[in-house]
Amino acid sequence: MPEIWVEKILDEPELYILRIDDERIKYFEATWDIPEGITYNAYLMKTGDAVVLFDAWKKDYTEEFLETLRKLVDPKEITHIIIHHTEPDHSGAIPAVLEANGYRAQLIGTTFAKRFMEGFYGEKVVENFYTIKDGEERNIGGKTFRFITVPWLHWPDTMITYVVEDKLIFSCDAGGGYGIPEAIDDSDEEVVKRYLPHVTKYIVTVIGHYHKYIVQNIKKLKSLGIVEEARMILPGHGLIWRKNPMRIFEHYERVGAGIPEKDKILVIYDSMYGFVERRMEVVIDELRKHGKKPVVYRFTDKEAPAVSDILGEVPDSEAIIIGASTYEAEIHPRIRYTLYEILDKANYEKPVLIVGAFGWAGVAGKKIETLITRSKFDLVDVVESRGMPRSEDEEKLREGVRKLVAWAG
């Protein structure tokens, strides 16, 4: 049974978190390995004559959501339901909430959100839907709710809510992360440190395709002055940020911009029979000679790391080294898939060195070179040769690493 958290976050306005820890999930969006799990966070505010629900949980946990909600309020008393984003990890339980509510509550969201809710759950769900304009303010229960669109964080439908008097940002996906933190907020530094790598992995795998919008949208929120003054950031996944609310958006900005951690070099390779691996030993040795810290992921006949974990390593790497075998006149399938996802989700201006090995004809190196030159990444060199590397091949590999190190700075 997943753990459920119902905690009062504030007395005035009366605000609660409703969080469920989904440790049963294996593949987020049926794709991304997340052994670390994920939480779904909804919030309930009682203010004046209003009872406002902010998002909900995934459909699988509808019964648990209604049961948890009933501990705080009779669902019939909910006056407004704010739909920040319609992806069903947040909206899945909404139809059942509306039914329990007798369809009294007004839904609030963007035009896209209305369209998507209707597509997912039918016309009845959107019969009482109020469509916001970007920046619009509404008085709800004596508080000023400002709705700000943040398109592509994570879908075109997405918005955040800023409660002006209390300086609260309800941010849904933005500011969220994978993982099941042992606390509800950022007050314990150890919890935060363990959690942040899961945030990076979440950003890349979920929002990475749109990562330029991360920087754009945070810039927009900063220009409105609400990020600096926020008292609390309340995301739809993971920790609430109230000790240092700025920190999570700064983290998002760094990931969005691909700011590197000093000396970190990501090394990814396949090796079927050890030929690529022998080359990568040379590469790693040369990296260490230059004081670099290689982070290595390898696909062999004994191990296959999760591509989601590899993606999470890209944003803060200074550079990437890709080692690949030629396989049936193609890039080795595992590297092909990994590379495809990197180029889609983690396409940054970072230097890349390509290392290839082949039995009778080198194809992988050239194909990767074509893909890299069409991306934002900067191609430093391609070092590809047949069979076991000779001493001249080793020298070329070391030279390639030296060029990469010089490029990365």
Residues lying near ligand FEO in the complex (CB under 6 A) are found at 85, 87, 89-90, 154, 173, 236-237
Evaluate the CA torsion angle 86, 88, 89, 91 in order and state its sign: positive
The C-alpha atoms of residue 90 and residue 58 are separated, in whole angstroms, by: 5
Nearer to ligand FEO, 46 or 198 (CB): 198
Q: How far is the CB of 85 from ligand FEO (least distance, A)?
A: 6
Q: How far is the CB of 305 from ligand FEO (least distance, A)?
A: 24
Nearer to ligand FEO, 50 or 204 (CB): 204
Nearer to ligand FEO, 90 or 242 (CB): 90
Nearer to ligand FEO, 237 or 345 (CB): 237
Q: How far is the CB of 39 from ligand FEO (least distance, A)?
A: 10
Q: How far is the CB of 8 from ligand FEO (least distance, A)?
A: 24
Q: Which residue is nearest to ligand FEO (CB)?
A: 87
Q: How far is the CB of 59 from ligand FEO (least distance, A)?
A: 13
Q: How far is the CB of 237 from ligand FEO (least distance, A)?
A: 6
Nearer to ligand FEO, 5 or 407 (CB): 5
Q: How far is the CB of 206 from ligand FEO (least distance, A)?
A: 6
Q: How far is the CB of 87 from ligand FEO (least distance, A)?
A: 3
119 burial level (CB within 10 Å; 0-12, 13-18, 19+): exposed
Q: What pairing do the DSSP bridges indicate for beta strands 168-172 and 159-163?
A: antiparallel
Nearer to ligand FEO, 240 or 321 (CB): 240
Nearer to ligand FEO, 58 or 332 (CB): 58
Nearer to ligand FEO, 179 or 351 (CB): 179
Q: What pairing do the DSSP bridges indicate for beta strands 50-54 and 351-358?
A: unpaired
